[in-house]
A and B are shown apart, each in its own frame.
Chain A
Amino acid sequence: MTAHIRKLNQLSRRTVLKGVGATMGLPLLEGMLSNDGLAAGASSVAPLRTAYVFFPNGAIMPEWTPKAEGENFEFSKTLKPLESFRNNLNVISGLAQDNGRAKGDGPGDHARSASTFLTGAHPIKTAGADIKVGISADQFAAQQIGKATRLPSLEVGLESGRTAGNCDSGYSCAYSSTVSWKTEHTPMPVEVNPKLVFDRLFSSSNGSPQERAKRAKYRRSILDVVAGDAQRLSKSLGKTDRRKIDEYFTSVREIEQRIGQAEQSAKLETPDFEIPDGIPKDLAEHSRLMYDLMLLAFRTDSTRIATMMLATEGSNRSYPTVGVNSGHHSLSHHRDDKNKVADLQKIDTFHVTQFAYFLKRLSETKDGNGSLLDHSMIVLGSGLGDGNRHRHDELPIVVAGGASGTVKNGQHIRLKDETPLNNLFLSMFHRTGVKTDSFGDSNGLLKEIDA
């Protein structure tokens, strides 16, 4: 165990996981497994975690897509940093999010890229009322299996949504600042401050057991009263108002459940995790911190479902950390300008490298009879393929993780053009115990990944 901890320390450089092993070691994890509501007989099986990592503005596809198909393919320039995980991932080409296309709605491909990425639904073009797309894959799963953990799901990101105006040609900013939709009307905002993510994961474990119990007790009384308020109010409201108050009510219920979960796992202690107060200026550090937190969330079984937005869709942030000083979105309309393409490829590589760091951490974290990576399905991808042309097909998608042995890894899978990305989500659902025959515009399972 000690050696293991030291290794972690070396890896994380700045963000030191001081003594995580000591407080958060395997015994605790297993202890939690036994009372986490898994079906009888399954308690020795580590749960399957899913994460969806989104990046905006598409990718330089010729540098992304491996030339060869099948096994033993050669890693492309952009995906090279993932090579050491060859046997832990599949590169999938040919997936599309058809509903990201205009369908007569005109410009706004970026808003549609993010809003369709996990929903496979066509967003209503509006800057104001009637925001509507579809429930996202993470939230759909969280509804069914999220109750098993303190947090049904975790939504993090590296860039805050814009707060002013439309974000893309008449689309509300909600569409491009999150990929996670709790209902077709309710976007889930992303948390970009690592400290707040940490608090969200572990603040309920602050204080002595007595203090925690007291806090939980009064929170529950408080929530009881206000949930009652909401229900009584709801009766005298019109239908639009009712929807808003229902949203409130749902949120209250979810937190009540979480308090219940926290009490059940009362043994959970706050991991000793050094975390800066603000948002790190260096993007690489910010990104590593967020991946560390996702890892921590999975490791402590605080949640099994996470989404991470590496930037908001249409983001125009620059990447000085890899020597790119122009805005990502401006660059993405490169018109085959060599320099711009080269800069974009650097940005793609940056994201892939950070993702490789996450996989590495997952693979080094013991979980049940294997590693966390063995018990995960982690999607890395964008809602746009060729960003220059706003293509919603030929999406850049990598799916990593052993999925508890249910996936055949090591392939570059070339699918039939226009295969809905939702087919992948449906296939993931079936592995995590989410029951449904279809999801969004799915038209089948992605059998190609089956073991």
Chain B
Amino acid sequence: MTQVHLKVRCPHCRFRFKVEQKYAGRIARCPRAECDGKLRIPDTQPVPRVSDKEPASQTVASKGTRSRSNSSKVTRSVSEGPEGQPPSAAPRSRVGLPAARDRKPQPEERYTRRAKQNRRRKTAPSKPRLPIWQIAIGTVGLLLAVLAILFAPNGDTNSQNEVAAGVKSQVAAAPALDVFKEKLHPFVTKYCADCHNADDPEAGIDFATFPTEASMLTGHGRKSWEKILSMLEIGAMPPADMEQPPAELRNELTAWLEDKLFNLDCDLIDDPGRVTVRRLNRVEYRNTIRDLLAVDFDPRKNFPSDDVGYGFDNIGDVLSLSPLLMEKYLDAAETITGDAIPVMTPGDLRTTVDSQRLNSKPRVGEQGGFLTLASRTDVWTDFDAPQDGEYEIDVRAKAKQFGKELAKMELRVDGKVVRTFDVKGEMKPDDYVHKMRLESGRRKILVTFTNDKWVENVGDRNLYVGRFAITRPADKSKLNEVIRDWPEQGSGTRKAATAVLTPLIKRAFRGPVSETEVSRFVDIVEIATNDGELFEQGIQFAVQAVLVSPRFLFRIETDGRPDDPMTERPVTDYELASRLSYFLWSSMPDEELFRLAERGELRDADVLKRQVMRMLNDSKSRAIVDNFAGQWLNLQMLDEMVPDPDVFPDFDVALRDAMKQESLLLFETIMREDRSLLEFLDADFTFMNARLAKHYGRDGVKGEEFQKVSLDQGRRAGILTHASILTLTSNPERTSPVKRGKWIMENILGEAPPPPPPGVPELEETAKNNPRFTLREQLKIHRADPGCASCHKTMDVLGFGFENFDATGRWRDKDGDNDIDPSGKLPAGDTFAGAAELVGLLKNRRADFARCLSEKMLTYALGRGLEYYDRCATDEILQRLNTNNYRFSELVLGIVTSKPFQKRRGDGERK
């Protein structure tokens, strides 16, 4: 049936939509709920259109149904059972390829994946799964044959040639169909190009820029098409109020796109990717300074916060350097070097106690800077000697002489007489100096007037005692840690500076440095000493320069052909050492890593493995707990959570910190004890201190220290039942099943729902329109919108499973007066009675969880967002985990030995 549509653009919000021509000239309201503005439908520009009878809601529904009907078959046929053995790992070897290819045309095995994190790889083991999210799609065999040609390697081994030949013969038998040209192109022209064209590329997409299949798969094109595919899959595009394509065509094309975009042949793709230079973030800066100069400097107080990308704050592309930060680096360098290389002039070492501050017994008066001692009197000060060493005690004194003897002043230290001075001259102030060794600690420095003489009306011998000045020895012990070579008398500044700076710069720049490079820093020392500054002052300036050098502030890996994406190389041993240390320690490599790098031994597989295990065992690996786990689990968000004090009066900072600590400790335990990653999901133990135990209503935990406790099996298991996660996914006054569900999808299953499509009202708005409905009812209304349904049907169910936990994670049986109903049925059909069972179902999706975690950790380890080709690396990591009981160390080793971690290439997109 042919209908004529008019294109309309809302003058208020610029939303575009179409209406049937019969409404031309009428006044209408903008269909976009947030806008709802009045407008007049124009009566020009009719666009002939073939209308289709398939509304979006039906499309989604039909996909869902298909998913369910096929799912059980999928699960059983190619994957491990819920508790079964890992699948025989499909080997990466060539021999594995035929099997993988043979399997491919089974339509039951195919399912769509949503986000790029979920790319499938041909040689990968099929996923063990609970098909919550899968939508199996029937596929045309023909398409696959065509695909196989495209991905057949131009191999040189026998087995490969056999494969290729086999595929070719299949293809010869089937007439090739150019799907792009014959199906996809007409599809987008008809359903998409009205809003996504050169004149007005909505969302930055202009379909005219994709004239060929190749243009779709390279560079920017691939990113656009991943977005397009996800919009098509969830039924968000074309918008619900626009003409919809027939479901079958939509499914066929999404399956085809899925294959094109995500089924990779890793032997062909084989791309290590490229990391942008990474500026040290605040944590890395602090740790590096600690390990380089043994100074603890906390940049959180004054550096601007680091930019976050892909969920982490160590992403090279995202970390920027503003003039403000540069200024902070300069100031920090001054502070840090002042601490590490203390420059002490004699004046700095002297402690002066003025006469007013001196103690005396019997108490005597002070006048004009002197105490008058007219009889035997003690005058003293208590001096805190900072260290053992040679001190100089200097007492100013004068005397009124009488009789044969000069006035005597006895100097005692801690009660022991060490010297007796004759105070010469008549009322002539002089400094009486004694040098001696003092031990560190409080020392009583005392002088006594010992030979008072007085004859009435004849004469009087008096002593006048002025200020004490105590000069401590220059403490070069700290200085000597940095400065091991001192210039010889009068000359040798350059030589000594070179000797001091070369090893330091090497460590600071985390790799070899040339003499010329060092000499530039030596110049600074020379300028300073020529100006009459102390040698150590010169070194201090030079080290400041080191600390603000781009080679210190950035982790830089330089290439021979930096702009050629086809030139690839293994990272150097030094680069590898830094990649390891910043991944596992958030800091610079230590001596041992440097030594191995220098000898060129770090790449050796056994050495590398031993080093990784050593690094994980080191206390510095706490960094991966705080920085990786903290960010993966979004624990920092807890700091922003303020549960409504009227509803949760007990919530305080101590509780919040304890919540965080519980989750970090679970991660740390799994790391330290090298346990299975799956225990994150269902650990039957956790950690509590008294504050947290009180919150959980658990007896017998005392004190601030955390202790390991076993969990009440029926109620809690693993990270998803931690108060931390349950709180940070709640609203201030109530739980939010949607947020909880979304959090699980993003951080456990790796299926981040795309942002809601344009024009769809947010859940909040649904709620506000229907204030009297329960949350469940509100969500039901929300899900009625096809644009929302595809994501919410999973999110909401997952979230409702945790309804027995309130917005701060406490157990509850009722919400107000209503009983909690934590049961649910996942879209794929599995049912659960509550959180514990749901956790069990989630654990069955171990491969999805492992993939999600691997991708996140790989992102963190590389410091860049993952690209489609990294799918090959994560597949190998998954295989490794699968055959090694998901042990934590295997994940780390898998990442460290992966291609993107071990290699790099020039900048740019590969064709």
How far, in whole Å, are A240 and B557 apart by their CA atoms in the complex? 13
- Rounded to whole Å, the gap between the CB of A415 and the closest CB of chain B is 17
Judged by a CB distance under 8 angstroms, whether B755 is at the interface is: yes
Interface hub of B755, B757, B758, B864 (most chain A Cβ within 10 A) = B755
| Residue of B whose beta carbon sits closest to that of A327 | B732
- Chain B positions within 8 Å of A170 at CB level: 755
State whether the Cβ of B327 lies closer than 8 Å to any Cβ in chain A. Answer: yes
The listed residue (B202, B274, B321, B327) touching A244 by CB distance below 8 A is B321
Complex Cα distance A218/B528, Å?
A: 8
In contact, A189 and B755 (Cβ under 8 angstroms): no
**Once the chains bind, are B322 and A182 in contact (CB under 8 Å)?**
yes
B865 and A129 contacting across the interface, CB-CB below 8 Å: yes
Q: Max chain B CB contacts within 10 Å: which of A229, A230, A335?
A: A229
**CB <8 Å contact, B550 and A203:** no
Q: A255–B318 contact, CB under 8 A?
A: no
Query: Which B residues from 235 to 251 make CB contacts under 8 A with A?
Result: none
Given contacts A101-B13, A389-B35, contact A333 B308 (CB under 8 A): no
CB–CB A245/B554 < 8 A:
yes
Other-chain contact of B331, A127, A189, A203, A228 (Cβ < 8 Å): A203
Q: Please name the residue on chain A nearest to B562 by beta carbon.
A: A238
Query: A247 vs B554: C-alpha distance in the bound complex, in angstroms?
Result: 12
Which residues from chain B contact A128 at a C-beta distance below 8 Å? 309-310, 315, 317-318, 865
Once A191-B324, A236-B558 are accepted as A-B contacts, the answer to whether A164 and B631 lie under 8 Å apart by CB is yes
A210 to chain B, nearest CB (A): 12
Min CB gap A429→B, angstroms: 21
Residues on B with C-beta less than 8 A from A149 are none
Smallest CB separation, B646 vs chain A (Å) = 10
Does A222 contact B548, Cβ atoms closer than 8 Å? yes
Known: A102-B758, A221-B541, A236-B562. A251 touches B308 (CB 8 A): no
1/0 per residue A165-204: CB within 8 Å of B? 1000110111000000010011111110100100010010
Chain B residues near A105 (CB-CB < 8 A): 203-204, 758
Question: Nearest Cβ distance between residue B740 and chain A, in whole angstroms?
Answer: 16
Using a CB-CB cutoff of 8 Å, which residues 253-311 of chain B contact chain A? 274, 276-277, 279, 302, 304-311
- A188 with B324, Cβ < 8 A, contacts A164-B634, A245-B550 known: yes
Q: Are B320 and A225 in contact (CB under 8 A)?
A: no
**Residue contact A186 to B322, C-beta cutoff 8 Å:** yes
Among A103, A190, A238, residue most surrounded by chain B Cβ atoms (within 10 Å): A238
> A107 within 8 Å of B by Cβ?
yes
Chain B residue with the shortest CB-CB distance to A250: B323
Q: Are A244 and B276 in contact (CB under 8 A)?
A: yes
Q: Does B390 contact A (CB under 8 A)?
A: no
Asked, given contacts A237-B556, A244-B276, A248-B550, whether A163 binds B325 with beta carbons under 8 Å apart, the answer is: no
CA distance A155 to B304 in the complex (A): 12
C-alpha spacing A327/B642, complex, angstroms: 10
Q: Is B213 an interface residue (CB 8 A)?
A: no
Contacts of B58 in A (CB 8 A): none
Chain A residues near B277 (CB-CB < 8 A): 237, 241, 244-245
Would B764 and A221 count as touching, CB distance under 8 A?
Answer: no
- Distance in angstroms between the alpha carbons of A234 and B177 in the assembled complex: 49
- Residues from chain B with a CB closer than 8 A to the CB of A223 are 548
A163, B636: Cβ atoms closer than 8 Å = yes
Report yes or no: B322 in contact with A251, Cβ–Cβ below 8 A. Answer: yes
What A residues does B317 contact at CB under 8 A? 128-130, 240
| Chain A count of residues within 8 A CB distance of the other chain | 69
A172:B318 contact, CB within 8 angstroms: yes
Alpha-carbon gap, A104 to B236, bound state (A): 13
Please determine whether A155 and B563 come into contact, CB atoms closer than 8 angstroms: no
- Within B758-796, the residues touching A (CB, 8 Å) are 758, 762, 764-765, 768
Tell me if A160 counts as interface (CB < 8 A to partner B). yes
CB distance from B30 to the nearest CB of A (A): 11
Say whether A164 contacts B636, CB under 8 Å.
yes
**Cα distance A182–B323 in the bound complex, in angstroms:** 10
Q: A160 to B305, Cβ gap below 8 A?
A: yes
Tell me which of A108, A164, A173, A237 has the highest count of chain B C-beta atoms within 10 A of its own C-beta: A164
Chain A residues near B333 (CB-CB < 8 A): 222
Query: CB < 8 Å: which of B195, B541, B551, B765 contacts A222?
Result: B541
CB distance from A238 to the nearest CB of B (A): 3
Q: Interface code A147-161, partner B: CB below 8 Å = 1, 0 otherwise?
A: 000000001000011
A239 contacts partner chain B, Cβ-Cβ < 8 Å: yes
**Residues of A235-271 contacting chain B, CB below 8 A:** 236-241, 244-245, 247-248, 250-252, 254-255
Chain A residues lying within 8 Å of B906, measured Cβ to Cβ, are 238
Minimum CB–CB distance for B14 against chain A, Å: 6
Looking at chain A's contact residues, is the secondary structure mostly helix, strand, loop, or mixed? loop
Which residue in A103, A106, A173, A244 is a CB contact (below 8 Å) of B316?
A: A244
On chain A, the residues within 8 Å of B563 by CB distance are 238-239
Among A129, A164, A225, A248, point to the contact of B520 (Cβ < 8 A). Answer: A225
Q: Which of B326-356 contact A (CB under 8 A)?
A: 326-327, 330-331, 333
Size band of the interface chain B makes with A: 35 or more
Q: Is B545's beta carbon under 8 Å from chain A?
A: yes
Across the two chains, which residue of chain A brings its CB closest to B509?
A: A229
CA distance A108 to B636 in the complex (A): 22
Docked complex Cα distance between A172 and B305 (Å): 13
A162, CB-defined interface residue at 8 Å:
yes
Instruction: Give the distance in Å from the alpha carbon of A102 to the alpha carbon of B187 in the complex.
Output: 25
State the CA gap A160–B517 with chains docked (Å).
39
Residues of A within 8 A of B195 (CB): 104
B553 at the interface (CB under 8 A from A): yes
Output the least CB separation between A384 and chain B (Å): 12
Cβ–Cβ < 8 Å partners of B553 in chain A: 248
Asked if B647 CB lies within 8 Å of chain A CBs, one says no
Given known A-B contacts A225-B545, A244-B276, A251-B322, A107 and B758 have beta carbons under 8 A apart: yes
Does B544 lie at the interface of the complex (its beta carbon under 8 Å from any beta carbon of A)?
A: yes
A131 within 8 A of partner (CB): yes
A226 at the interface (CB under 8 A from B): yes
Q: Which B residues, 201 to 239, have Cβ-Cβ distances below 8 Å to chain A?
A: 201-205
Assuming the A-B contacts A130-B317, A163-B636, A333-B764, are A104 and B202 also in contact, with contact meaning beta carbons closer than 8 angstroms in the complex? Answer: yes
Residues of A within 8 A of B196 (CB): 104
Known contacts A131-B318, A162-B640, A229-B550; is A222 also within 8 Å of B634 by CB? Answer: no
Known contacts A102-B758, A128-B865; decide if A255 and B327 are in contact (CB<8 Å). Answer: yes
Q: In the assembly, what is the distance between CA of A102 and CA of B908, in Å?
A: 29
List 10 A-B pairs, minimum CB-CB distance, nearest first. Answer: A238-B907, A104-B202, A128-B309, A104-B203, A129-B317, A189-B304, A251-B326, A238-B562, A222-B545, A164-B636
What are 15 A-to-B residue pairs whose CB atoms are below 8 Å? A104-B201, A104-B202, A105-B204, A129-B865, A165-B637, A174-B320, A189-B324, A222-B545, A225-B524, A233-B551, A233-B558, A237-B558, A238-B274, A238-B908, A252-B326
- Contacts A223-B548, A236-B562 given; 16 further ones with Cβ under 8 A? A106-B757, A106-B758, A128-B310, A128-B318, A163-B308, A172-B318, A219-B330, A225-B545, A229-B551, A233-B550, A236-B558, A238-B559, A240-B907, A241-B276, A244-B321, A255-B323
Chain B interfacial positions (CB closer than 8 Å to A): 13-14, 34-35, 195-196, 201-205, 274, 276-277, 279, 302, 304-311, 313, 315-318, 320-327, 330-331, 333, 517, 520-521, 523-524, 527-528, 541, 544-545, 548-551, 553-554, 556, 558-559, 562-563, 631, 634, 636-637, 640, 732, 755-758, 762, 764-765, 768, 864-865, 906-908
